[in-house]
Amino acid sequence: MGSYIVRRVLQGIGSLIGVMLLLHLLMTAAIQLNGNPALAFFGDRVPSKAQLAAVQERFGLADPCYEQLGNPCLGPFVHRMGGYLTGDFGTNHRGREVLDIVATAAPNTLRLFLVVTITWMLVGMLLGSVAARYRGRAPDHSIRFISILIDAFPVFVTLLVYKFIVTVPVSNWMSAQFGDESIPALLFKPSFSADHPWATVIIPGLLLGLVGAAPFLRLVRASQLENYNADHVRTARSKGLGDGHVTAYHIVRNSSIPVITAVGFVFAEALAGAVITEGMMNIYGMGGVLWDAVRDSEVSVVIGVVSILAVVTIVVMFVVDLLYAALDPRIRYD
């Protein structure tokens, strides 16, 4: 196990450097093709050469390589990596540190992700297990029909219906009955409130979780069906073990590998932000930060945030790999 961990750490560092280099090359090419993003700092104003040079120097865009099409600009890349090692991920156009932006936005995204994950895991595991247990019968057909029906409704349609048709009358009624600051009124508040971050993300998180549960329950069903007729399950039944014990310890546990993989990917993706959900519900999260940074041509913010997300993704995938051995005794890393 020790040698495997060392190998995975080295692979993770190599992958991280590769991701950052690729991101740097893409951003460099975009600057060389579209012009220096430092101009976005001035808006509609026309800056003097001295003003433009000062802004370029401040945001690390003063290197002449950015004006040479095809130049990989490896010097700025090495300089940026050195800053990352000291915890300097740059600033936005208003001088705010990228780490400070992430520290403010990430908790809102994680709150939404937690509600979403609990919802789709509970719904997906429950309905997927029932569908697998009653394969080919009425419960199985009903659950698969429901999953297809859920898939037919895009997330933005569900949120539009919820926000503009459900929340307004329900929120007004709740406020009249219990007060504007009551939990029932906050739960159905049409937009996110920084003063009540948990209460105002529960319903959007539940809706997003239900939409995400549709493909997940099909994954659970398919994974468990592979184990129902496996040798170890037949052996357990032949020993006289009850259905509940066999299902919990021999089917569900051994079917958890793809489930854990899915959770890992969803966690990594969630940190990038649910752009549609966060945008429609006015949630200040990672999706909104990236969207605003791209729109405003804030190169340092885009590169800094994506680099942080790359680190988190590699760490999550590493933890998922270790969980494989804990869930399935057949997997060994020696």
Domains of the chain: 2-85 (no CATH), 98-296 (1.10.3720.10)
pLDDT of 208 strictly over 70: yes
Average pLDDT over residues 296-325: 77
pLDDT of 125 strictly over 80: yes
Q: What are phi and psi of 97, to 5 degrees?
A: -65, 140
Say if CB 23 and CB 306 are below 8 A apart: yes
284: how many CB neighbours lie within 10 A of its CB? 19
Output the six-digit token pair for 324. Answer: 């494989």
Average pLDDT over residues 140-145: 90
When pLDDT is cut at 50, 70 and 90, the band that residue 89 belongs to is: confident
Give the bridge partners for 97, in sequence order.
91
pTM of the model: 0.72
How confident is the model at residue 168, as a pLDDT? Answer: 78
When pLDDT is cut at 50, 70 and 90, the band that residue 248 belongs to is: low
Average pLDDT over residues 94-123: 84
- Alpha-carbon distance of 102 to 109, in angstroms, equals 10
Say if CB 132 and CB 220 are below 8 A apart: yes
Average pLDDT over residues 85-113: 81
Q: Which residue has the higher pLDDT, 249 or 129?
A: 129
- Picking from 115, 147, 152, 153, the residue whose alpha carbon sits closest to that of residue 131 is 147
Both ends of the chain: CA-CA distance in Å?
Answer: 5
Average pLDDT over residues 107-126: 84
Please, what is the average pLDDT of the chain? 78
How confident is the model at residue 325, as a pLDDT? Answer: 67
Work out the percent of the chain whose per-residue pLDDT is above 90. 1
Average pLDDT over residues 224-242: 73
pLDDT of 280 strictly over 80: no
pLDDT of 194 strictly over 70: yes
When pLDDT is cut at 50, 70 and 90, the band that residue 309 belongs to is: confident
Average pLDDT over residues 169-193: 81
How confident is the model at residue 327, as a pLDDT? Answer: 65
Average pLDDT over residues 201-214: 82
**Cα angle for residues 325, 7, 307 (degrees, 5° grid):** 100
- Region of poorest pLDDT, from 50-59, 286-295, 305-314, 324-333: 324-333
CA distances from 308 to 1, 136, 172, 305, 315 (A): 27, 46, 41, 5, 11
- Alpha-carbon distance of 214 to 203, in angstroms, equals 18
How confident is the model at residue 328, as a pLDDT? Answer: 63
How confident is the model at residue 1, as a pLDDT? Answer: 63
Give the bridge partners for 91, in sequence order.
97
For 34-70, what is each residue's pLDDT tens digit? 777 666 666 667 677 777 777 777 767 777 887 788 8
Q: Which residue has the higher pLDDT, 274 or 283?
A: 283
Say if CB 190 and CB 217 are below 8 A apart: no
Average pLDDT over residues 253-262: 72
Q: Which residue has the higher pLDDT, 45 or 173?
A: 173
Say if CB 158 and CB 203 are below 8 A apart: no
- Alpha-carbon distance of 76 to 315, in angstroms, equals 26
